[in-house]
Amino acid sequence: MEFQLLPEIKSPKDLRGYSDEQLLQLCAEIREALCNVVSNRTAHFASNLGVVELCVALHLVYDFAKDRLIWDTGHQIYPHKLVTGRFSEFESIRNKGGLMGYPNPEESPYDLFMTGHAGASVSTVLGLKTADDLLFDDGRKSVAVIGDGALPSGVVFEAMNNAAGLDKDLLVILNDNKMGICPRVGGLASYLDKARVAPFYDGLKKDISWILNKVPVVGEPVEHMLGQFKDSVKSFLHGGMLFEEMGFRYIGPVDGHDLASLVKYLRMVKDVKGPVLLHVFTEKGHGFEPACEDPVKFHSPAPFERTGENEIVPVSKGGTPAYTDVVSDAIYDAMDQDRRVTVLTAAMCAGNKLDRIRNDFPERFFDTGICEGHAVAFAAGMAKSGVRPIVDIYSTFLQRSFDHIFQEVALQNLPVTFCMDRAGLCGPDGPTHHGVFDISYMRMFPNMTVAAPGDAADVQPMVDFALKHDGPVGIRYPKTGAETVQRELAPVEHGRAEVYCSGNDGAIFAYGAMFPMCVRVAEQLRDTGIHLTVVNARFAKPLDEQTLLPIIEQSPFVITVEENALQGGFGSALLEAVNKQRIRSDHIHCQGVPDQFVEHGQRGELLSDLGLNEKGIIALVQDLSATEAANDSVLPFEQPSATVEH
Known catalytic residues are 284, 372, 400
DSSP secondary-structure letter at 108? -
Alpha helix positions (H), 184-258? 187-196, 205-214, 222-237, 241-245
Q: Which amino acid is at 443?
A: R
Tally Cβ neighbours within 10 Å of residue 413: 14
| Residue 63 Cα distances to 107, 215, 343, 346, angstroms | 18, 44, 46, 36
Distance CA 389, CA 411 (A): 17
SS3 350: coil
Position 449, amino acid? T
CA distance 316 to 303: 8
Cβ–Cβ < 8 Å for 275, 168: yes
First to last CA, the chain: 99
**3 state SS of 118:** coil
Question: Going by C-beta distance under 8 Å and a sequence separation of 6 or more, which residues neighbour residue 299?
Answer: 44, 45, 46, 47, 181, 284, 350
- Inter-residue long-range contacts of 301-305, CB under 8 Å, 24+ positions, other chains counted: 301/38, 301/42, 301/45, 302/42, 303/38, 303/39, 303/40, 303/41, 303/42, 304/38, 304/39, 305/39
- Percent helix, strand and coil across the chain, each to the nearest 5: 45, 15, 40
Q: Dump strand ranges (E) for 288-412.
A: 304-308, 311-314, 341-345, 365-367, 388-394
Cα separation, 251 vs 267, whole angstroms: 12
For 66, the 3-state DSSP assignment is: coil
CB 280 within 8 A of CB 254: yes
